Chains A and B, each alone.
Chain A
Amino acid sequence: MRVLGADRSFVLWMLLSAVLLVTVPPAQAQSNGEGTIYSRFGLGSLLDFSSSQSRAMGGGGYALRSLNYNPDTNPALWSDQVYTRLSGSASLQSVSSEDGSGNSGQLTSGNVQAIQFSFPLYERTLGVGLSFQPYSRFNYNATLTGQERVGPRQENEARYETTFSGSGGLHRLRGGLGYRMSDMLSVGASADVLFGIIESQRRTTSQGLRNIVLADGVRLSGFTGTLGGHLALADVLATDDALSIGASVTLPARLSGERFRTLDEDLARDTLSSERGDVTLPWQGRLGVSYQPGPRWTFVLDGFFDPWSTFSSGFSVGTGETEPARFPVGGTSTLADRWRLSTGAEVVPAGEDELAGYFAQAAYRFGGYVEQMYVRPDRQTPLYEFAVTAGLSLPTSLSGTRIDVNTIAGTRGTSSDALVRDLFVGGSLHVNFGERWFQRRKLR
């Protein structure tokens, strides 16, 4: 197939993006993602990223159809594509945590949000979508300090610091097809590969003592699939308005792997014990509605439900000192059903006026959500996450290419009942590159 219509800058972008993709693993290795103590529980903090557009509109957008983005939560949305599209996202988030005693801490880090690629096989009829993004992020950091008298004459006092941290997480590689069956109905399906390593580490450091690094990890991988549907209705409440309903279901996933405990790090790392096992993730349901009364405004209302109370783990409860810690931490009773309600809006002041000023052609987005978290560390107190989102989408001279800047601010958890309340603020940068590619120009 001959490449047509691709200018030099497109090729440049593809190369740069490829470089970015290659650098993703090391970048993730040093990132601390969402940064909350609650990521110790379950599989870590679950990350839901569909597109930069939906991210700024409360995080849903399961029915949000757009030629400028390639949302991947609902595979049916891949059916309506014109451009070959590559998107990359990176974020920076700062989390401030506070407990009931007034102690506080802060964690700031950079993170990859997603790499997405999609293209139409048949324009606006059959499309392909591929994405690689974090599924969960195990990330926390807490420190304990103390001092110990050492030496045979107890003459030395060694101050030490014990740092508990989590790293890693599961990643999701998704690939699938979306098919537009009619002007109203689209369907899609994807195959999802979940894989990754979740590791919690305890590091004791001191000037007068050798460092001790103890790590409990779980390596998991498995497959699942997602089915999606999208219903598009026009002239529902007014002339030229559009109402869309989208839904998707991700099937339960069985992840197999190995749990291990290691001592030391790098080349000196020694495996104390390991155990094979598996876990079963629950199904996940998404449902959303979007409404466009005209070319300027778009509104979305979304929700999802994940029955994490059905999560099961086949890993045994280790009791020996060389055996790794229980997985998930605290047992499955610390998991609860997860749900989220989100809403958002987008306005493009210029509407369809291509001659309007630059900032009139930009898209301005805002939204918010409330979520019941899927972890319940004390097994009784439901935890919620509230957040408001906003974003700015800047058009570029390349048709179909936009640069988005999003922000989010919110809170999760509670500082009562020996729990922790997080305040988080973040920003993210998204490059959504689109170009007609892999398509023959028709001679007229």
Chain B
Amino acid sequence: MRSSWLCAALAGGVALLSLSACSDSSNVGLGVGPDSLSGGQPVTLDVEADLDTAHTSPITGENVRQAPIRSTWRVLVGVVDDPLPGTGEIEAEGYLDVAGQSSLPSEILSANSADSLTAELRLTPSYLHGDSSNALAVEVYDLTEDATMDSARASATFDADEMDPASVNASQVNPTDSLVTIKLRESWIAENLSTLQDTSDDGSAFEENFPGFKIVAPNSQAVVGFSPFDATLRLTHVSESDTTTADYSGVKSFTHIEQREAGAPPDDYTLLQDGAGVDLTMEWDFNAPPLDTLENTPLNRAEVFVPVDTSALKDFSRMNFVRPLPKGYRIIATRGANTPGCRMAGFPVFSEPNETCILPLDPSAADPSAALSGALVPDDLRSANEAFTIFEESFRRIRNGQSPLFTEYRVQVADRESIPGEPGSTIQLGLPSTLPVLVPVDGEELAPPRATLTVTPL
């Protein structure tokens, strides 16, 4: 035998060693012996949260010149008495400021009196909550001083000269129209003619002298929303031969919202209401069952879901009453003591000094046309663990005698598009609205807000 055979033999031996074990799936032998092979089966359980409500006045002010630019913003006007118990009466007062012009048509610039000019506010409705069959009687007033509307909250107010309306008497707005106009008084034009004709400093002089409008509809039966940055103050000069216009575009807007006579929501529900700032708060006690029994249990999957009973909302309505469903939600989590910062934990910061984080949600869960809508903190989003991270890290901290990652979760209505496939869209601010939703807190058909954990017991 030549030595090359030995090489072949050794190679054969190495080949034998290199064979990794292979087996077919079999349950043979699972039951052999007193300590038989068992366990390892995942189980799913719902962990209900301790629920409460809290008030946070939402941001309703916006300045198109300040980042981030929210071009789809809205300003609300009107009063709505929603038949849904607990909502009370909501009144919205809109504020609008317009930008100055660096140039104007000569006919308008040369106008010596208000006789040849007309002025109107042109507004594009984009939202309706309330009675769609009746027109709103709208009043427009001048603000008395420049208002800082940027990111102002709905509880804020700005002074207006409500003794002397700018709009003509009996201005009616039909909420279902695609464009509404509110005619301003001739006296208002006369009082403000020089300001309106001021194009100096590229219009800055106009903006310094013109603080904006307050728009109200105190005796209405609906809240109507307008796109402030599509809104214009239009001056029109009409002569025998021609008609000339100048548009002053909306640049800042704000909505003040007040709630009156809020009662109790329907049984078995908690009411969340945008505008009035009624939020849902959730807390999980890791030192109480069942979480206190799970701190050492491997976690396979976790999700947090806040259901919204869309069918129950439909039960509380009346003829010609319009109540859209919000298109999104936000969940803001408050960090526990000595926990890692939001970014370190993998979440966007909601508010400085880094005490609250905002949780990206599953955009598709908020679809108002879905059979069961709501806010869902998914198990993970694009490889970034979300609810899983929260509970996995919380269990780890509890094992070490520390507080959970987050101590409170605040759920808000956020009426803005939740773009499918873009979880980042779910952390954006909602548009001003007055929309309520019902969150079931008791009952069999719809479980209350909960964390759904899948664990594999040790």
Contact = CB atoms under 8 A, between A and B. Distances in A.
Contacts of B32: 37-38, 40, 377-378, 418-420
Interface residues of A, number: 91
Given A148-B454, A208-B301, A397 B3 contact: yes
B296 A150 contact: no
Nearest to B44: A150
A287 B302 CA distance: 61
A27 B17 contact: yes
B3 A9 contact: yes
A330 interface: yes
A263 B300 CA distance: 13
Interface string B290-322: 000000111111011101000000000000000
A164 B33 contact: no
B344 interface: no
Contacts of A24: 17
Given A110-B18, A418-B32, A144 B3 contact: no
A419 B300 CA distance: 33
Contact of A334 (B3, B34, B296): B34
B6 to A, nearest CB: 6
Given A152-B376, A397-B2, A107 B33 contact: no
Nearest to B392: A210
B237 to A, nearest CB: 61
A204 B42 contact: yes
Nearest to A33: B21
Nearest to A16: B10
B37 interface: yes
Contacts of A103: 26-28
A397 B3 CA distance: 7
A108 interface: yes
Interface in A98-141: 98-99, 103-112, 140-141
B16 A142 contact: no
Nearest to A30: B20
Interface in A63-97: 88-92, 97
B35 interface: yes
- Counting chain A CB atoms within 10 Å of each CB, which of B9, B32, B42 scores highest? B32
Contacts of B299: 210
B39 interface: yes
B458 A13 contact: no
B35 A210 contact: no
A18 to B, nearest CB: 12
Given A104-B26, A164-B30, A326 B35 contact: yes
A394 B1 contact: yes
Contacts of A146: 41
A151 interface: yes
Given A214-B458, A398-B3, A144 B17 contact: no
Contact of A148 (B37, B41, B305, B458): B41
B5 A149 contact: no
A312 to B, nearest CB: 18
B450 A110 contact: no
B10 A144 contact: no
Interface centre among B2, B12, B297, B456 (most CB of A within 10 A): B456
Contact of A98 (B16, B28, B33, B37): B28
A32 interface: yes
Interface in A160-180: 160-162, 164
Nearest to B396: A270
Interface of A: 9, 12-13, 16-17, 20, 23-24, 27, 30-32, 35, 37-38, 40-41, 88-92, 97-99, 103-112, 140-146, 148-154, 158, 160-162, 164, 202-204, 206, 208-210, 212, 214, 263, 272, 321-322, 325-326, 329-331, 334, 358, 377-379, 394-398, 401, 403, 418-420, 428-429, 431, 433
Q: Which 4 A-B pairs have the closest CB atoms?
A: A105-B26, A37-B29, A152-B305, A32-B21
